[in-house]
């Protein structure tokens, strides 16, 4: 069982590494569907781990380390982290010399512009997946809406917003 989970972690994160266009936010939906679908995490645990990964410094892809730790301990964290970084790194490695040799290639800008719509679709799918896993009620939906507006229309740091929301929720919990 333990070994199966370690291999399972690699099989989940290594392919998703190749799809993490623009970073970890693009693959959140599939991470949720797979980890909860495999029975590794409950919806509530996934929501918690997503929250921690967004509050933590560093790239959002590191949610792989958190899930690996939760599912299979320290070894799980290490393997999941390797799985999420090695395939995408191999692509960067392979592409960098080609990129250098073709400075003005029309294919390059087509790749840049062509990946954007896919990334957008995946990012919104990820947002929906987290809200579904959280069984978001009116409070969570209102929080998300207010914070989205705040982050979109002002230059407020996401970390500041996340910290404030955490404090406000702590206050609500102990008052209500």
Partner 1 sequence: MALEADSDPVSFELEQPNLGALFWCFLKIGLTSFGGSSRAMMYAESVERRRWLRERDFLTGFAIAQVLPGANPVNLALYVGLRARGLIGAAAAVCGIVAPAFCVILLMGFVYHALSRYPATHFVLEGVAAAGVAATLAVGIKVALRMPRRLTPALIAILVFATVGVFHLPMIPVVVVAVPVSIAAAYWAAQGKANV
Residues 154-173 within binding reach of partner 1 (CB under 8 A): 157-159, 161-162, 165-166, 168-170, 172-173
Q: Can you tell me the distance from the alpha carbon of 130 to that of 47, in angstroms, rounded to the nearest whole number?
A: 6
- Residue 134 sits in the site that holds partner 1 (CB under 8 A): yes
DSSP string for 103-166: TT-HHHHHHHHHHHHHHHHHHHHHHHHHHHHTT--HHHHHHHHHHHHHHHHS---HHHHHHHHH
- Residue 75 sits in the site that holds partner 1 (CB under 8 A): no
- Residue 143 sits in the site that holds partner 1 (CB under 8 A): yes
- Residue 77 sits in the site that holds partner 1 (CB under 8 A): yes
**Which is nearer to partner 1, 6 or 28 (by Cβ)?**
28
Nearest CA among 73, 76, 74, 61 for reference residue 9: 76
- Residue 110 sits in the site that holds partner 1 (CB under 8 A): yes
Q: Which of 11, 38, 51, 75 binds partner 1 (CB under 8 A)?
A: 51
Nearest CA among 34, 175, 20 for reference residue 88: 20
- Residue 7 sits in the site that holds partner 1 (CB under 8 A): no
- Residue 16 sits in the site that holds partner 1 (CB under 8 A): yes
């Amino acid at each position: 069982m333990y070994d199966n989970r370690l291999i399972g972690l690699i099989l989940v994160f290594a392919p998703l590494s190749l799809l993490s266009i623009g970073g970890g936010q693009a693959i959140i939906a599939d991470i949720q569907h797979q980890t909860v679908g495999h029975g590794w995490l409950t919806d509530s645990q996934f929501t918690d781990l997503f929250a921690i990964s967004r509050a933590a410094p560093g790239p959002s892809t590191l949610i792989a380390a958190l899930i690996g730790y939760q599912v299979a301990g320290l070894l799980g964290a290490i393997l999941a982290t390797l799985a999420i970084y090695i395939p995408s790194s191999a692509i960067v490695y392979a592409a960098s010399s080609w990129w250098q040799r073709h400075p003005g290639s029309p294919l390059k800008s087509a790749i840049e512009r062509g990946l954007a719509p896919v990334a957008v679709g995946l990012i919104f799918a990820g947002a929906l997946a987290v809200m579904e896993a959280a069984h978001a009620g009116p409070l969570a939906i209102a929080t998300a809406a207010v914070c989205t507006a705040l982050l979109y229309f002002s230059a407020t740091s996401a970390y500041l917003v996340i910290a404030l929301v955490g404090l406000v929720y702590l206050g609500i919990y102990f008052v209500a």
